């Protein structure tokens, strides 16, 4: 959808023209056009010139610009404009208390082009020397910058979800809430979260606002209204809450779950069907009669769409699939039959081998793989050959005592810098399952790392490649690797690829999950647990898999033990499962 792109570019042009001090009517025209394009409800690239001019606020000039952008992907007027006024000035306008005149002055006289330069000037108390800026304004600008930095920060879902659940729990206990749910990116299980959005119904919205703003962790109340409030928690995370009427709850839930791009597509379908969709409900265009809105499902039903699970609401094909009633039947947590990547205290985990099965059995799993590190990873007390043999005996003894559950003797084998493995074939074939991964040489070239993983996959004993990109969200970038080639290799050799469910890894990343599926690669969702609490991270892996459109059949650890072992043997025999 080009609507959002064009609307963004027009808004940006309006900002830039404002900084330049241009004619207010011209500026207003751009903003109005931007607004109307965004809420158009149909794909702008499909409109004729005449239809373009039918959009309120769009005349010949803007219609021409839209056509230019659609045809070339560029807009000359915009490019001319940013020759005069640097694009980065637009972000300065977001600082509360800074208007276009001041931004323009700051740029022309002091060459302030971005927030960092502005902050420097304010901290050195140079700002208040500028005509029109008082000391108080300087302090406010610094506060504004701090807020801006905070709201542009994104947090890993692993850190946000427990907070969101605490808030929901707190509100259920301390406020007269009826229906209550997280919305926004949290409900969609996005890997990073900008802010938490909460939605509820209540007989007494004011009481909900009070309870919400008085939660123990609230550091600052940014806004408190009768049905809507925003707070900042200790640690900087922002939380929005809205209380809506019962009759609108479903429509509001759909609206505030987003994504924005998905919502725009729904509105477009509504318009085509003579309907109007907003956060209050779905209405008939001709007489404004309300057709639904109390339940979220109604919205999809009335639009003749299959219900779209929140994880898929990103406008990446789900609307088309829902319209054709061909959405995938997504994987569910209950489909998971075991965990194929678990560490004990034989290497760097803290669980005794004897206790390892307790939580998985309680979860109803049928197997887990004990995959301690191999000798190459000294820092993690990787196992040498003798310890492997010793551990195997201990695992065999454990299995004699277990009924309906199996501890698989596995290893997380280190892929050496040249693609070789820590153990030779004699030892490798003693394992029930071998998971291989990269733990060193992150600085190697893309070709080297890719080759290295491809080489490891050629080994018939390697069943799974663990955390294939090595990233730690917000802490460490992925190593350079040609993931497409790795997935191709996985498909060719019959090797499964891990979706590591540890919330800071979430590795394989989502776009590659869909690519893997399209290549027929099997995915193993594993927690990489080092303590018993981490088995619960499986839900992060399953949600990520759902965002990647995976079904039960795409996931290795939904198989029964026997089928799983047959698959592993098959690659060992033929080099391909
Ligand atoms: P985040 O917070 O950046 O991780 O992402 P979201 O998706 O939670 O975004 P947020 O908190 O700004 O807004 C929550 C939902 O509200 C969003 O997914 C869709 C809806 N929404 C917000 N602003 C707009 C808008 O301007 N137009 C439309 N159509 N929907 C919006
Ligand atoms: Ca949000
Ligand atoms: Ca929000
Ligand atoms: Zn591991």
For ligand 1, pick from 223, 258, 259 the residue to mutate: most ligand atoms within 8 Å of CB. Answer: 258
For ligand 1, pick from 242, 256, 277 the residue to mutate: most ligand atoms within 8 Å of CB. Answer: 256
Please check whether residue 100 is in contact with residue 126, taking contact to mean a CB–CB distance below 8 angstroms: no
CA 473 to ligand 4 centroid distance, Å: 16
CATH code of the domain made up of 155-243: 3.30.460.10
Cα gap 284→275, rounded to integer Å: 5
Candidates 3.30.2350.10, 3.20.20.80, 1.10.150.110, 3.30.499.10; CATH matching 2-151: 1.10.150.110
Cα gap 506→156, rounded to integer Å: 10
> Where in the chain are the domains?
2-151, 155-243, 248-323, 333-574
- As given in the structure block, the two tokens for residue 216 are 């123990």
- CA nearest ligand 1 atom 24, residue: 260
Please check whether residue 401 is in contact with residue 354, taking contact to mean a CB–CB distance below 8 angstroms: no
Cα gap 252→278, rounded to integer Å: 8
Give the mean pLDDT per block of 10 residues along the chain (577 residues). 84 92 91 85 84 88 93 92 88 83 88 89 86 82 80 84 96 97 98 96 98 95 94 92 97 97 96 96 96 97 98 97 98 98 94 95 98 89 94 97 96 95 95 96 92 97 97 84 97 97 94 96 97 95 98 98 96 72
Residue with tokens 């809506």: 244
Selection from 558, 501, 554 nearest residue 328 by Cα:
554
Selection from 19, 238, 213, 240 nearest residue 146 by Cα:
238
Candidates 3.90.550.10, 3.30.210.10, 3.40.50.880, 3.40.50.10470; CATH matching 248-323: 3.30.210.10
CA 245 to ligand 3 centroid distance, Å: 19
* Per-residue confidence (pLDDT) for residue 577, from 0 to 100: 44
* Per-residue confidence (pLDDT) for residue 109, from 0 to 100: 86
CA 265 to ligand 1 centroid distance, Å: 14
DSSP annotation of 330 reads B
CA 386 to ligand 2 centroid distance, Å: 52
The answer to whether the 2-151 and 155-243 domains have the same CATH topology is no
CA 285 to ligand 4 centroid distance, Å: 56
What angle do the packed helices 3-20 and 24-38 form, to 10 degrees? 160
DSSP annotation of 68 reads H
Q: Which long-range contacts (CB under 8 A, 24 or more apart) does 293-300 make?
A: 293/247, 293/248, 293/249, 293/250, 293/251, 294/246, 294/247, 294/248, 294/249, 294/250, 295/249, 295/250, 296/250, 296/251, 296/253, 296/254, 297/250, 298/250, 299/250, 299/251, 299/254, 299/266
Distances (CA, A) of 372 to 350, 463, 507, 537: 11, 15, 19, 18
Cα gap 366→356, rounded to integer Å: 13
- CA nearest ligand 1 atom 21, residue: 260
Q: SS3 letters for 111-179?
A: CCCCHHHHHHHHHCCCHHHCCCCCHHHHHHHHHHHHHHHHHHCCEEHHHHHHHHHHHHHHHHHHCCEEE
Please check whether residue 103 is in contact with residue 93, taking contact to mean a CB–CB distance below 8 angstroms: yes
For residue 522, report the phi and psi dihedrals to the nearest 5 degrees: -85, 140
Selection from 86, 233, 208, 210 nearest residue 151 by Cα:
233
Index of the ligand 1 atom closest to the CA of residue 185: 8
Cα gap 458→469, rounded to integer Å: 18
Neighbours of 235 (CB within 10 A): 11
For ligand 1, pick from 31, 152, 185, 186 the residue to mutate: most ligand atoms within 8 Å of CB. Answer: 185
Residue with tokens 């965004």: 38
- Indicate the helix (H) or strand (E) that contains 435: strand 433-437
For ligand 1, pick from 228, 231, 263, 299 the residue to mutate: most ligand atoms within 8 Å of CB. Answer: 263
- As given in the structure block, the two tokens for residue 240 are 């929005």
Instruction: Among the bound ligands, name the one nearest to the CA of residue 230.
Output: 3
pTM of the prediction? 0.80
2 burial type by CB count under 10 A (0-12 exposed, 13-18 middle, 19+ buried) = middle
For ligand 1, pick from 1, 39, 187, 260 the residue to mutate: most ligand atoms within 8 Å of CB. Answer: 260
Which class is domain 333-574?
A: alpha beta
DSSP annotation of 429 reads T
Cα gap 268→273, rounded to integer Å: 9
- Indicate the helix (H) or strand (E) that contains 233: strand 228-233
Q: Which residues' Cβ are closer than 6 Å to ligand 1?
A: 184-185, 190, 193-195, 197, 255-256, 258-260, 263-264
- CA nearest ligand 1 atom 5, residue: 185
Cα gap 509→468, rounded to integer Å: 9
For residue 111, report the phi and psi dihedrals to the nearest 5 degrees: 55, 30
- CA nearest ligand 1 atom 20, residue: 256
Selection from 402, 435, 406, 436 nearest residue 338 by Cα:
406
Cα gap 204→78, rounded to integer Å: 49
Cα gap 172→198, rounded to integer Å: 12
Index of the ligand 1 atom closest to the CA of residue 195: 2
CA 528 to ligand 4 centroid distance, Å: 5
Collect residues with CB below 5 Å from ion ligand 4. Answer: 412, 528
- Indicate the helix (H) or strand (E) that contains 358: helix 358-362
Index of the ligand 1 atom closest to the CA of residue 240: 11
- CA nearest ligand 1 atom 25, residue: 260
Please check whether residue 256 is in contact with residue 184, taking contact to mean a CB–CB distance below 8 angstroms: yes
């Amino acid at each position: 959808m080009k609507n959002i792109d064009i609307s963004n570019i027009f808004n940006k042009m309006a900002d830039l023209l404002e900084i330049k001090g241009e004619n207010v009517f011209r500026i207003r025209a751009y903003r109005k056009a931007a607004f109307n394009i965004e809420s158009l409800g149909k794909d702008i690239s499909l409109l004729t010139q005449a239809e373009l001019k039918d959009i309120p606020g769009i005349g010949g000039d803007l219609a021409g610009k839209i056509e230019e952008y659609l045809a070339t992907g560029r807009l000359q007027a915009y490019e001319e404009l940013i020759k005069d006024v640097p694009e980065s000035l637009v972000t300065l306008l977001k600082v509360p208390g800074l208007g276009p005149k001041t931004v323009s002055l700051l740029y022309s006289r002091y060459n302030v082009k971005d927030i960092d330069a502005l902050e420097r000037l304010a901290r050195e108390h140079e700002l208040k020397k500028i005509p029109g800026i008082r000391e108080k304004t300087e302090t406010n600008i610094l506060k504004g910058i701090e807020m801006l930095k905070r709201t542009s920060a994104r947090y890993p879902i692993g850190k946000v979800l427990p907070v969101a659940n605490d808030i929901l729990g707190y509100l259920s206990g301390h406020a007269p809430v009826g229906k209550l749910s997280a919305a926004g990116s949290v409900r969609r299980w996005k890997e990073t979260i900008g802010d938490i959005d909460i939605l509820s119904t209540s007989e007494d919205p004011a009481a909900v606002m009070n309870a919400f703003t008085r939660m123990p962790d609230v550091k600052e109340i940014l806004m408190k209204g009768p049905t809507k409030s925003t707070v900042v928690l200790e640690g900087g995370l922002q939380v929005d809450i809205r209380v809506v009427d019962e009759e609108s709850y479903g429509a509001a839930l759909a609206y505030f779950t987003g994504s924005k791009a998905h919502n725009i597509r729904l509105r477009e379908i509504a318009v085509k069907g003579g309907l109007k969709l907003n956060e209050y409900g779905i209405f008939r265009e001709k007489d404004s009669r309300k057709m639904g809105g109390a339940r979220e499902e109604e919205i999809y039903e009335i639009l003749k769409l299959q219900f779209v699970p929140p994880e898929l609401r990103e406008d990446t094909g789900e609307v088309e699939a829902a319209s054709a009633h061909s959405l995938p039947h997504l994987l569910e947590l209950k489909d998971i039959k075991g965990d194929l990547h678990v560490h004990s205290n034989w290497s760097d985990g803290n669980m005794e081998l004897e206790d390892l099965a307790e939580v998985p059995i309680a979860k109803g799993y049928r197997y887990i793989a004990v995959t301690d590190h191999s000798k190459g990873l000294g820092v993690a007390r990787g196992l040498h050959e003798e310890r492997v043999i010793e551990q195997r005996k201990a695992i065999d003894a454990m299995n004699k005592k277990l009924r309906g559950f199996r501890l698989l003797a596995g290893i997380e084998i280190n892929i050496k810098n040249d693609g070789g493995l820590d153990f030779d074939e004699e030892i490798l074939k003693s394992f029930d399952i071998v998971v291989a991964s990269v733990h060193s040489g992150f600085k190697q070239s893309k070709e080297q790392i890719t080759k290295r993983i491809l080489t490891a996959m050629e080994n018939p004993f390697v069943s799974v490649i663990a955390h294939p990109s090595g990233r730690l969200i917000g802490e460490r970038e992925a190593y350079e690797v040609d993931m497409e080639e790795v997935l191709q290799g996985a498909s060719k050799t019959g090797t499964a690829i891990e979706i590591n469910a540890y919330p800071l890894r979430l590795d394989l990343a989502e776009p590659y999950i869909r690519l893997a599926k399209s290549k027929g690669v099997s995915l193993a969702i594993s927690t990489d647990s080092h303590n018993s609490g981490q088995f619960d991270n499986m839900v992060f892996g399953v949600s990520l898999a759902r965002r990647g459109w995976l079904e039960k059949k795409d996931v290795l650890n939904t198989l029964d033990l026997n089928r799983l072992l047959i698959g592993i043997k098959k690659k060992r025999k033929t080099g391909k499962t």
